[in-house]
Structure 1
Amino acid sequence: MTRILGVDPGSQRTGVGIIDTDAAGRTVHVFHATVKLLDNDSFMLRLKQLFEDLGAIIETYRPDEVAIERVFMAKNPDSALKLGQARGAALCAVVTRNLVVAEYAPKEVKQAVVGGGAADKTQIQHMVGVLLQLPGKLQADAADALAIALTHAHTRATTQRIGIPRTAWRRRR
């Protein structure tokens, strides 16, 4: 079994989801949460909390690999910058623990989990719940993090079966 940590970075809330997967791509839910950052007095303290809380989750659950959402270009440059900084804090928490990181675009995650690159949050929440057999409605950020982990598990299983690295079959932009 391989333990995968999925991270959906955000400057207000960061979703975290952990699954275990076997060589065939079968997955089991381990943990999910939303790291809420808005109680801090400053943006810098949000980044510090994200780094520390994600580090604590990594120490507790000991993932083997990490999948994180790639930053998309937002309409608001300030929001995009803050998202990038939150993503950087999350990546620092991961790489300081020598974990392998895979990045996925939002459309790749939607395609892998829902079957279409234009899926909305409720579709992702529903499909993640179905795929991991979780009761009740998931919080959106946690569902996104689990979706990222599922995407990595499926991609990983496929690349192992066909023996071609992911970079060779990804569409060039």
Structure 2
Amino acid sequence: MRVLGIDPGLQNMGWGVIEIDGPRLRHIANGTVRSGTGPLGGRLLRLYQGLCAVIVTHAPTVAAVEQTFVNKDAAGTLKLGQARGIALLAPAEAGLEIGEYAPNAVKKAVVGVGHAAKEQVQHMVRHQLPGVCFGGPDAADALAIAICHAHHLQSRAIRIKVRA
């Protein structure tokens, strides 16, 4: 099973693809889709097209998106919400099941602590995906989101086996 993790952002949308192989996780690819400058509609289109290209190239079977937090700036929060809509739309259009996780849930799943620093998260992502090179901080966050979803899927599979 391949998991696509998405870290929504209007300027930079991080993405990471991992593969679940039993209890093991394997890094496939990661990067950042950049929206550039200009009118909002064009920027959202570039994010959508870039994310669709990632899905076609890496053929994930499921996706996970980080839930946004509310900024102090209402206009910024609204724009981030529109980018998050793109992060949900592209995998949904591809027929992927999508998990959604709060930032603290991602940190807890990857580090073990819900208020971990960004450096701690990146260290644990490197530990769980040996040899990974991040395509930027947003890509590292996207890999953490993918790892969180992978752990969720693995624990769900174990619960199903126990019940059977």
> Normalising TM by the smaller chain, what interval?
over 0.9
Is the CA contact (8 Å cut-off) linking 2:32 and 2:135 kept in structure 1?
no
1:111 is matched with which residue: 105, 108, 111? 108
- The 1:45–1:34 alpha-carbon spacing in structure 2 relative to 1, beyond 3 Å, is same
2:60 is matched with which residue: 60, 63, 72? 63
Counterpart position of 1:128: 125
Counterpart position of 1:92: 89
CA RMSD of aligned residues (A): 1.5
Contiguous gaps of at least 5 residues in structure 2: none
TM-score by length of 1: 0.88
Is the CA contact (8 Å cut-off) linking 2:30 and 2:135 kept in structure 1?
no
TM-score by length of 2: 0.92
The number of equivalent residue pairs is: 161
Tell me how far apart the structure 2 counterparts of residues 121 and 78 of structure 1 sit (CA, whole Å).
25
Q: Report SS of the residue matched to 2:30.
A: strand
Contiguous gaps of at least 5 residues in structure 1: 165-173
**What displacement does 1:40 show?**
2.8
Kindly provide the amino acid, as one letter, of the partner of residue 27 in structure 1: L
Tell me how far apart the structure 2 counterparts of residues 127 and 44 of structure 1 sit (CA, whole Å).
36
Is the CA contact (8 Å cut-off) linking 2:14 and 2:142 kept in structure 1?
yes
Cα deviation 1:51-96 (Å, max 9, x = unaligned): 0000011011110000110122222211111111001012111111
Say yes or no: does 1:146 pair with 2:147: no
